[in-house]
Chain A
Amino acid sequence: MNIKTNAVAGTLESSDVYVKVEPSDKLEISIESVVYNQFAQEIEKSIREVVDELGVTSGKISVNDKGAIDCVIKARVETAIKRAGGEQ
């Protein structure tokens, strides 16, 4: 799936994550998290799993995490990517 437009998913509430995706020439992932020290690797792994599963090869994915668990991160990233790819 290609990221054609800007899109967002999620909120900045505690235990949620706000995901923003934008078109880009290469694949870029940026992570900001209140639990970065404790869970940075897990957060990146969750994002990459969704990206791989959806076949995204380029795009800028920025997450602002407020302590979401993995299934929430995956769901928010998937939704944002699908919104950016033209699915509603």
Chain B
Amino acid sequence: MSKLVASIKEAIEKCGLQDGMTISFHHHMRNGDYVLNMVLEQIAQMGYKNLTVNASSVFDVHEPIIGHIKNGVVTGIECNYMGAKVGKAISEGIMDKPVIFRSHGGRASDMEKGTSKIDIAFIAAPTSDDMGNCTGKFGKSACGSIGYAFADAMNAKKVVVITDNLVEYPLVDFSIPEVYVDYVVAVDQIGDPAGIVSGTTKITRDPVGLKMASYAAKVIDASGLLKDGFSFQTGAGGATLATAKYVKEMMLEKGIHGSYGMGGITGYMVDMLEEGCFKALLDVQCFDLKAVESIRSNPKHMEVSATQYAGVSGKSAGVDNLDVVLLGATQVDLDFNVNVHTDSNGYIMGGSGGHCDTAAGAKLAIIIAPLTRARLPLVVDRCLCISTPGKTVDVVVTQRGIAVNTAGGKNQELKQKLIDAKLPVVEIADLKRMAEELAGVPKPVQMGEKVVAKVIYRDGTLLDEIHSVK
């Protein structure tokens, strides 16, 4: 027996695609992904209409989806992140149905709970055998972890694996097992390696970024959480990576043996693992080549599914035991709500990803961002979109001051510890005032009437709506 079919077209036919169905994709190929465009192009050619695309993320490379929306092939999008190119078109109102935004944990859990149904999942697999045992660890398009694709594979009615490295059965060290897979298609190329992972992720040299990073590291130190058993997540942004570097230096200097590092994994987290800062890495997505090499060769660098990373449908998840997470923001409001979905003009250019999941789980959720960006203040009266509820955010670090969220009497002890450590602790309203004194008071942005996106929180409830731009 073999599940190999000759083409994507044949796989679509055999899966029984019909108008109005929901198809899914995962985003480990990131901005190098060919699979989503390839499949949609085929579906458009076959004349299907009115499909919903549930992709864990939509990147700029997926710009052709705008054409498929205009010609009625795609009438719904569900995702956890949307890049600025497609985001702009959505914000301008090209689609009738609002986009459904979820978090990384929420997407997987909604599939598992059955509230988000997938008819056909298309899995971009850098290596697969002809029965569908597949992985991202090997092959010319290797991306490392394919953690976001597990929920799709396990919950979709039909599952198609698309690979550019077909190997003999059984694939050794598979990630997704054959039991979930219906068909396998071999193609020339599933992605552009240059867009899949960065060669290296670099630490910022911007003095403002380094200042913020140094404060964030001191906050972690002063919090008392930096001790044996420490667990940590950071993104791939320049300032958050710089913070990781400072944290690593402190851990090595004090001989602290942490427990785990988690998230999208960069070479810096791999360095921390190799130098004994952590016992293990829990990896849902690799950001650079060093991370890919590490997950392939180091058993302590473990692939986890989105559910195990950040979901609410499992009996526990990695985020539940996280000590510290470092997160970014485009806007923070006076109640510590965070916007990572839109820019300051209200255009969609991002999404929660694991932002709200990790903020909810971590003991200390730190937002790190500059006081102003291109004259616009970080702290505003009301965020244009609530991506992460303020009640899950503990500290906002800027280069000019650090605000602690003490609403409801929480974090009082933390605030005192930061003051004792001689850190520049201010109120959140002070950060807004300082920015406005420096850069002026921006005229409020007026949004349009149409709801272009709904933001669903990790527990499945509606968190906010994003309106069209004027």
Contacts and interface: CB of A to CB of B under 8 A. Distances in A.
Given A35-B374, A67-B373, A69-B440, 9 more contacts: A15-B374, A35-B442, A38-B344, A38-B375, A39-B440, A39-B442, A66-B374, A69-B375, A69-B439
Given A14-B374, A67-B374, A38 B438 contact: no
A31 interface: no
Contacts of B374: 14-15, 34-35, 66-67
B440 A37 contact: no
B88 to A, nearest CB: 14
B443 interface: yes
A67 B373 CA distance: 8
A80 interface: no
16 contacts: A14-B373, A15-B372, A15-B373, A15-B374, A15-B375, A35-B376, A37-B345, A37-B445, A38-B375, A38-B443, A38-B445, A39-B375, A39-B440, A67-B374, A69-B440, A70-B440
A68 interface: yes
Contacts of B372: 15
Interface in A35-61: 35, 37-39, 42
A42 B440 contact: yes
Given A37-B445, A38-B344, A38-B445, A67 B376 contact: yes
B445 A69 contact: no
A42 B344 CA distance: 18
Contacts of B373: 14-15, 67
Nearest to B438: A69
Interface of A: 14-15, 34-35, 37-39, 42, 66-70
Contacts of A42: 440
A68 B345 contact: no
Contacts of A67: 373-376
Give the interface size bracket for B toward A.
10 to 19
A68 B372 CA distance: 11
A22 B76 CA distance: 50
A68 B376 CA distance: 10
A14 B344 CA distance: 15
A68 B443 contact: no
Interface centre among A35, A39, A42 (most CB of B within 10 A): A35
A39 B438 contact: no
A37 B443 contact: yes
Interface string B345-385: 10000000000000000000000000011111000000000
B248 to A, nearest CB: 29
Nearest to B443: A38
A15 B208 CA distance: 13
A78 B330 CA distance: 32
Interface in B427-470: 438-440, 442-443, 445
Contacts of A39: 375, 440, 442-443
A35 B375 contact: yes
A68 B375 contact: yes
The residue among B345, B374, B443 with the most chain A CB atoms within 10 A of its own CB is: B374
A4 to B, nearest CB: 32
Nearest to A70: B440
Nearest to B444: A38
Contacts of B375: 15, 35, 38-39, 67-69
Q: Which of B344, B372, B375, B443 has the most CB of A within 10 A?
A: B375
A42 B375 CA distance: 12
A70 B373 CA distance: 14
Nearest to A42: B440
A33 B376 CA distance: 12
Nearest to A46: B440
A34 B372 CA distance: 14
A42 B439 CA distance: 10
A72 to B, nearest CB: 9
Q: Which of A34, A38, A66, A68 has the most CB of B within 10 A?
A: A38
Interface string B81-104: 000000000000000000000000
A67 B372 CA distance: 10
Contacts of A68: 375
A40 B376 CA distance: 13
A68 B345 CA distance: 17
A15 B372 CA distance: 9
A50 to B, nearest CB: 17
A68 B442 CA distance: 13
